[in-house]
Amino acid sequence: MRNSFALLLVCTFAAAGAEEAPGWMKELAAVSLPQYGPKVNIVVLLNDEHTTIGNTGKLTTTTRNAIKILNRKGGEVMFFERYDTRGDKVRDFKAWTLSAAGKVKKYGKDEILDLACASNDVYNECRRRAVSNKADVEVGAIFGYEATVERQSFASQLSFQFQDSSPVRLARFLD
């Protein structure tokens, strides 16, 4: 009886400590992709940004981004979220790698960096919260992040980049 209880207790703690990817990343793992040429190293599975404007004029932007590594040249990918130290606040920044076998790695606070936007400036208010998958590069893996940033709105203008040099499966901008 004691052994059964001890085994149940160990399994409970192991399940509680198991890392989970968010549902939106799990859904992306099930998506079938077309065949890409040998020069395509990664594909952007999701580039999603949702911005809301509060009563005080503050903008709250939630960004979700995920890429799939197609070959070893896909190598190091770095996600970052820019913010301005004068009035912006990073409310949340999380990142995960979902291996081709389904194993999840959640990046801890010690793996998420806070960097200057320009490395050669003496003083600059522009900062980046960043995470890299360099240590976890695996063909077929999905690397993704989710960030929420609160900004003071100085202009009624928002911008969003739908496409870059890599193929994009889904890009959406909601306000």
Predicted TM-score (pTM) above 0.85 = no
Instruction: Yes or no: say if 41 and 79 are a contact pair by the CB < 8 Å rule.
Output: no
SS3 label, residue 27 = helix
Per-residue pLDDT reduced to its tens digit, 106-132: 999 999 988 888 888 777 888 888 898
Give the C-alpha separation, 147 to 134, whole Å.
Answer: 20
Enter the CATH code of domain 20-174. Answer: 2.60.40.3140
What is the pLDDT, as a whole number, of residue 67? 92
Taking 80 as the threshold, does the pLDDT of residue 1 lie above it? no
Instruction: Yes or no: say if 144 and 66 are a contact pair by the CB < 8 Å rule.
Output: yes
Residue type, 157: Q
**Could you state, in order of their start, the residue ranges of all structural domains in the chain?**
20-174
